C-alpha cells in the first residue's frame, strides 16, 4: 500500500481533487490578490497591515460559520447583524447592575441564543419563511438596541486580561475566528448534526423518511447563528473599545453570507463548507484592505467589491458543473 509510487500517485490525485474543490479557486485568487497588492504597494505585508486585514476578516468569517449551516439546510438569517449590535448593550446593561463582566457576557450570549430560538420557532412552527421572519427581526432588534442605548454609544468595559482576550489584543479576534472555524468544520463534517443539516438541505423528503429530526436541527442552527452573531458583536466592541448602537447591521450580515457563498456554499442548500467560508472571508478582507491601501475612491470600491463577489460566485457555479453534478 505505502510504496513510493503509490504515495506519489495518491498525492497527485489528492492535489487534483483539491483543485476541483470550490475553495481552491478562491484560495488561488486570494494569493494572487496578495501578490498584486504587495507588488503595487510595499506596505501590504507589514505586520501592522496584516493585523488590519485579520480584523477585517474575523467578524464576517465567524458570522459565515452560522450562515453556512443555515444556508446548507435552506434557511437564512438576515438579522444576525442586528444581534451583533444588541449583544454588547445587553452585556453593558447587565454589568451596570454590578454583575461581573464575564457573567454579563454570558447573559448577552444567552439573550442572543433566545433570539435565535424565537426566530427558529416562528419559522418552523408557524411556517414563515426565514427570509421574512428574520427581516422582521432585523427591524425589531434595531429598534430594541436603539431603545436600550437611547441612541448613544457607550464605552466597552476595560478589564486588563479579559479585554485583551475578547478582542483588544491585535490578533485575538482572528484567533477566535480560527478556533470557531475549526470547531464548526468538525461539527459539519464529523458529527451527525452536520451530516443531517446537509441531508435536510439536499432532500428534505429523504431526511424525513430516514427519521431525521428536521425541526430540531433547523432551530438549532438558528440558535447557533444568533449566538455567533452576538459573540462577534462583543469581540468588536472590546476591540474598538466602544459600543455603537449602529454597529454591524446588514453590512456585516451580507459579508458573512457572501464569504460563505464565495467559498462554495450553495444558496439553494445541500452543500457547503466552513473552510470555504474562511477563504471567502479572507478574499473579501484582502480586497477591502488592499484597495483601501491603493487609495481607491470609496465609490469605486463598492463597484469593485460587488463585481468581485459576482465573478467569484459565477466561477463557483461553473466549477460545480465541471465537477459533474455534485453541488447544484
Partner 1 sequence: MSAAIRAENITKTFGTITALNGVSMQVARGETLGILGDNGAGKSTLIKILTGYHQADSGQVYVDGKPVRLGSVDEARALGIECVYQDLALVNGLSIYHNMFLNREPLWGWPVRFLDHRTMRRRAAEALAEIGVQVPSVELEVGQLSGGQRQAIAVARAVTSNARILLLDEPLAAMGAREARLIIDLIDRLRARGDIAIVMIAHNYAQTLEICDRVMLIQHGEVTFESQTATTSAEELLDIVRREYRAARGV
> Contact residues for partner 1 (CB under 8 A)?
186, 190-192, 195-196, 198-199, 201-203, 205-207, 209-212, 270-271, 324-328
Helix (H) or strand (E) run with residue 25 in it: helix 22-40
Q: Which is nearer to partner 1, 187 or 255 (CB)?
A: 187
- We find the least distance from the C-beta atom of residue 125 to partner 1, in angstroms, to be 22
- We find the least distance from the C-beta atom of residue 254 to partner 1, in angstroms, to be 25
Distance of CA 57 to the CA centre of its chain: 9
Cβ proximity of 19 and 29 under 8 Å: no
- We find the least distance from the C-beta atom of residue 268 to partner 1, in angstroms, to be 10
Cβ proximity of 230 and 109 under 8 Å: yes
Q: Which is nearer to partner 1, 2 or 47 (CB)?
A: 2
Of 322, 325, 266, 240, the closest CA to residue 59 belongs to 240
The neighbouring-strand residues paired with 154 are 243
Q: Which is nearer to partner 1, 110 or 210 (CB)?
A: 210
Q: Which is nearer to partner 1, 228 or 320 (CB)?
A: 320
- We find the least distance from the C-beta atom of residue 207 to partner 1, in angstroms, to be 7
- We find the least distance from the C-beta atom of residue 178 to partner 1, in angstroms, to be 19
- We find the least distance from the C-beta atom of residue 102 to partner 1, in angstroms, to be 24
What the block records as the C-alpha cell of 289 is 484592505
What the block records as the C-alpha cell of 7 is 504515495
Q: Which is nearer to partner 1, 198 or 227 (CB)?
A: 198
Q: Which is nearer to partner 1, 58 or 199 (CB)?
A: 199
- We find the least distance from the C-beta atom of residue 119 to partner 1, in angstroms, to be 25
Q: Which is nearer to partner 1, 200 or 282 (CB)?
A: 200
Q: Which is nearer to partner 1, 201 or 229 (CB)?
A: 201
Alpha-carbon Rg for the chain, nearest whole angstrom, is: 20
Cβ proximity of 266 and 317 under 8 Å: no
Helix crossing, 47-72 with 192-202: angle to 10°?
60
Q: What is the 3-state secondary structure (H, E, C) of 153-200?
A: CEECCCCHHHHHHHHHCCCHHHHHHHHHHHHHHHHHHHCHHHHHHHHH
Of 302, 197, 235, the closest CA to residue 61 belongs to 235
CA atoms 289, 291, 294, 297: torsion sign: negative
Cα(first)–Cα(last) distance of the chain, in Å? 35
Q: With 0-12 CB in 10 A as exposed, 13-18 as middle and 19+ as buried, what is 140?
A: middle
- We find the least distance from the C-beta atom of residue 142 to partner 1, in angstroms, to be 36
Q: Which is nearer to partner 1, 155 or 191 (CB)?
A: 191
- We find the least distance from the C-beta atom of residue 88 to partner 1, in angstroms, to be 30
Amino acid at each position: 500500500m505505502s510504496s513510493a509510487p503509490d504515495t506519489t500517485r495518491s498525492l497527485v490525485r489528492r492535489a487534483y481533487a483539491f483543485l476541483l474543490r470550490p475553495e481552491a479557486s478562491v484560495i488561488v485568487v486570494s494569493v494572487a490578490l496578495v501578490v498584486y497588492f504587495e507588488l503595487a504597494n510595499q506596505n501590504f505585508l507589514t505586520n501592522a497591515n496584516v493585523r488590519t486585514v485579520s480584523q477585517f476578516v474575523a467578524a464576517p468569517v465567524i458570522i459565515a460559520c452560522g450562515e453556512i449551516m443555515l444556508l446548507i439546510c435552506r434557511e437564512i438569517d438576515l438579522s444576525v447583524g442586528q444581534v451583533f449590535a444588541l449583544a454588547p448593550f445587553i452585556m453593558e446593561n447587565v454589568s451596570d447592575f454590578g454583575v461581573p463582566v464575564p457573567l454579563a457576557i454570558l447573559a448577552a450570549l444567552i439573550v442572543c441564543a433566545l433570539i435565535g430560538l424565537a426566530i427558529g420557532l416562528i419559522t418552523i412552527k408557524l411556517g414563515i419563511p426565514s427570509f421574512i421572519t428574520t427581516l422582521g427581526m432585523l427591524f425589531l432588534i434595531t429598534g430594541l438596541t436603539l431603545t436600550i442605548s437611547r441612541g448613544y454609544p457607550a464605552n466597552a468595559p476595560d478589564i486588563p486580561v479579559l479585554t485583551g482576550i475578547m478582542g483588544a489584543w491585535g490578533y485575538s479576534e482572528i484567533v477566535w475566528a480560527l478556533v470557531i472555524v475549526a470547531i464548526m468544520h468538525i461539527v459539519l463534517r464529523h458529527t451527525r448534526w452536520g451530516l443531517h443539516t446537509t441531508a435536510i438541505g439536499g432532500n428534505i423528503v429523504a431526511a424525513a423518511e430516514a427519521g431525521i429530526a428536521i425541526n430540531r436541527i433547523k432551530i438549532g442552527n438558528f440558535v447557533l447563528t444568533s449566538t455567533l452573531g452576538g459573540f462577534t458583536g462583543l469581540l468588536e466592541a472590546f476591540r474598538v473599545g466602544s459600543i455603537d448602537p449602529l454597529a454591524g447591521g446588514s453590512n456585516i450580515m451580507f459579508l458573512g453570507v457572501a464569504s460563505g457563498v464565495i467559498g462554495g456554499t450553495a444558496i439553494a442548500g445541500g452543500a457547503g463548507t466552513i473552510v470555504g467560508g474562511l477563504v471567502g472571508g479572507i478574499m473579501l478582507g484582502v480586497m477591502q484592505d488592499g484597495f483601501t491601501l491603493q487609495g481607491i475612491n470609496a465609490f469605486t470600491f463598492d463597484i469593485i467589491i460587488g463585481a468581485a463577489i459576482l465573478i467569484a460566485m459565477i466561477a463557483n457555479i461553473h466549477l460545480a458543473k465541471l465537477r459533474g453534478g455534485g453541488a447544484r
